[in-house]
Amino acid sequence: MSTLDSPERGSAALAGPPPRILVLSAPYYRDVVDGMLGGAQRVLADVSATVEVAEVAGGYELPAALAMALKQPARWDGFLLLGCVVKGETDHYTFICDAICHGVMDVSTRSAVPVGFGLLTVDSLEQAIARSRDDRMNKGAEAAHAVLGQIGLARAWGLGA
């Protein structure tokens, strides 16, 4: 395995009832984000998860959407955020990526909810496509594994996920 390969992941395993997952999708680059969503859905199907998808306008809206979803107590066990930001010619990319990442981290740590964060921050659309294909490099699948791991941890610690 080269340093550029993603680790091979087996089927997801999770103790307890099938999880309820809210996917917050920012499909500005629809084909890319749909590819990530497909990868995530395959992982979540392995644990018979109930999946609800809500779309937001773009990546910048992901943190606020997560905060709004948390106003619905006990509706979901975990949250999966999917989006893509492609670098352009201005500093806008840096500001947007920083705002999204800090916003999601702030909401998720303050609320202590299981979150899988699948935001591609890439230099080109070609890089995004490579990370959203139906293969082991799919970052949506990787984020789904992450949220299931967080749900498992929350359940082990009696935090209600």
Q: Which of 30, 92, 102, 110 is catalytic?
A: 92
Q: Is 113 annotated as a binding residue?
A: no
Q: Is 28 annotated as a binding residue?
A: yes
**Backbone angle region of 105, left / alpha / beta, with phi > 0 → left and psi within -120 to 50 → alpha:** alpha
102 is catalytic: no
Q: Is 147 annotated as a binding residue?
A: no
> Is-contact 109 79, C-beta < 8 A?
no
Q: Is 84 annotated as a binding residue?
A: yes
> Is-contact 100 119, C-beta < 8 A?
yes
Nearest to 24 by CA among 71, 48, 57: 57
Q: Is 117 annotated as a binding residue?
A: yes
Rounded Cα gap, residues 36 and 132, in angstroms: 5
Which tokens in the block code for residue 131? 């990370």
Q: Is 97 annotated as a binding residue?
A: no
Q: Is 107 annotated as a binding residue?
A: no
Q: Which amino acid is at 21?
A: I
Which tokens in the block code for residue 42? 């395959």
Q: Is 95 annotated as a binding residue?
A: no
Residues with active-site annotation: 92
Q: Binding site for (2S)-2-hydroxy-3-oxobutyl phosphate: what residues are annotated?
A: 89-90, 131
Q: Binding site for 5-amino-6-(D-ribitylamino)uracil: what residues are annotated?
A: 28, 59-61, 84-86, 117
Q: Binding site: what residues are annotated?
A: 28, 59-61, 84-86, 89-90, 117, 131
